[in-house]
C-alpha cells in the first residue's frame, strides 16, 4: 500500500484547512469539510475491508451507502491538521445499514467525525442530484459574510444582489446566487435538512449569525467560491464604512456580463429584466 499521507486527497485537506485557519475563517474547532472519494483511489492507500471502528450517526445515509469520504474530526482545530493529519482527519465509508459509518483511517485519539456530518451528507445527496460531479462540502465562518447577516436585509435576493454588485466577478462565479437561512441549531438534522433543500438551488448557503456552506466539484472550486463571496462581503463592509453605495452595477450591466460569459443568472434576483445567456 502507498503511504496515505502522500495521497492527493490528504494533501488537499491539509492545504485547505491550513488556508482556512490562516484567513481566520476557522477559529478553534470551527468549520468542517467532507470530500467524496473514489473507491479506486482509496484502495491504493487503504485496505477497504479493514474497518477500525463503526461509528453511529443520527441520520439515514442509505442514499450514500458504500461511498467513501475524508472528513474533518469533531472538536479538531484546523491549525493542527498539517502537523497531525491522522489525528484530525478520518477516511470513512457509509456502512450498509445507512445509519453508521466505518472508519478506515484517522481519528487516532479515538475521535469521531464532525458533529455536522449529517448536514454534510444531506448536502452531498442534494448536490449529487443536481450535479453528479459534486465532491466537496465545506463549512467555515467567513468573517465578512457572517457580519453581513447582522446588518444587511436578510433575504437571499437582497444579499445576492449586494454581493454581485460589490465585485463584478461574483455573478460569473455564482450566477445562481447565495441562499440564506435563518438561525438554526448547528449540528442538528433540522439545519442539515434546511441546508440540503437550499443546496438544490445553489452551491452557497449562508447560515445567519454563524457562517457559510459551500459545495463544488473540487477543493479549489469550493474554496474559491467561498473566497469570492467573502471578498465581496469585505468590499461591502468597506463601502458602508465609506458612507454607503452611491453608484453600482446596473441590471443592464449584468445582462451584458451574462452574455459575455455565457451564463444564466438566477432570474429571481432581478427586478423586471429577463436575463439570459444568449
Q: Is 141 annotated as a binding residue?
A: yes
Q: How many CB atoms lie within 10 A of CB 258?
A: 19
Is residue 139 part of an annotated ligand binding site?
yes
Q: Does the annotation mark 176 as catalytic?
A: no
210 annotated to a ligand binding site: yes
In angstroms, how far is CA 203 from the centroid of its own chain? 8
Question: Which is catalytic among the residues 41, 96, 116, 176?
Answer: 116
Contact 202, 178 (CB under 8 A): yes
User: Which residues fall in the annotated binding site for Zn(2+)?
Assistant: 139, 141, 210
User: Which residues fall in the annotated binding site?
Assistant: 139, 141, 210
Residues labelled as active-site residues: 116
Amino acid at each position: 500500500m502507498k503511504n496515505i499521507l502522500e495521497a492527493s486527497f490528504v494533501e488537499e485537506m491539509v492545504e485547505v484547512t491550513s488556508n482556512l485557519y490562516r484567513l481566520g475563517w476557522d477559529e478553534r474547532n470551527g468549520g468542517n469539510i467532507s470530500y467524496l472519494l473514489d473507491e479506486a483511489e482509496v484502495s491504493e492507500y487503504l485496505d477497504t475491508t479493514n474497518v477500525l471502528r463503526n461509528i453511529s450517526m443520527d441520520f439515514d445515509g442509505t442514499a450514500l451507502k458504500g461511498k467513501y469520504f475524508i472528513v474533518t474530526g469533531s472538536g479538531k482545530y484546523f491549525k493542527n491538521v498539517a502537523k497531525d493529519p491522522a489525528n484530525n482527519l478520518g477516511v470513512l465509508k457509509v456502512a450498509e445499514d445507512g445509519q453508521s459509518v466505518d472508519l478506515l483511517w484517522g481519528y487516532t485519539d479515538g475521535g469521531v467525525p464532525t458533529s455536522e456530518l449529517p448536514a454534510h451528507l444531506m448536502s452531498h445527496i442534494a448536490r449529487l442530484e443536481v450535479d453528479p460531479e459534486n465532491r466537496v462540502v465545506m463549512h467555515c465562518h467567513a468573517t465578512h459574510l457572517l457580519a453581513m447577516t447582522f446588518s444587511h436585509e436578510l433575504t437571499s435576493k437582497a444579499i445576492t444582489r449586494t454581493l454581485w454588485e460589490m465585485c463584478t466577478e461574483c455573478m460569473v462565479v455564482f450566477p445562481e446566487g447565495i441562499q440564506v437561512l435563518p438561525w438554526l441549531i448547528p449540528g442538528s438534522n433540522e439545519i442539515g435538512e434546511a441546508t440540503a433543500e437550499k443546496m438544490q438551488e445553489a452551491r452557497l448557503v449562508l447560515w445567519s449569525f454563524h457562517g457559510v456552506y459551500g459545495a463544488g466539484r473540487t477543493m479549489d472550486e469550493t474554496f474559491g467560491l467561498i473566497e469570492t463571496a467573502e471578498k465581496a462581503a469585505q468590499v461591502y463592509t468597506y463601502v458602508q464604512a465609506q458612507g454607503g453605495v452611491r453608484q453600482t452595477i446596473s441590471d443592464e450591466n449584468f445582462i451584458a456580463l451574462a452574455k459575455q460569459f455565457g451564463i444564466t443568472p438566477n432570474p429571481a434576483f432581478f427586478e423586471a429584466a429577463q436575463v439570459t445567456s444568449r
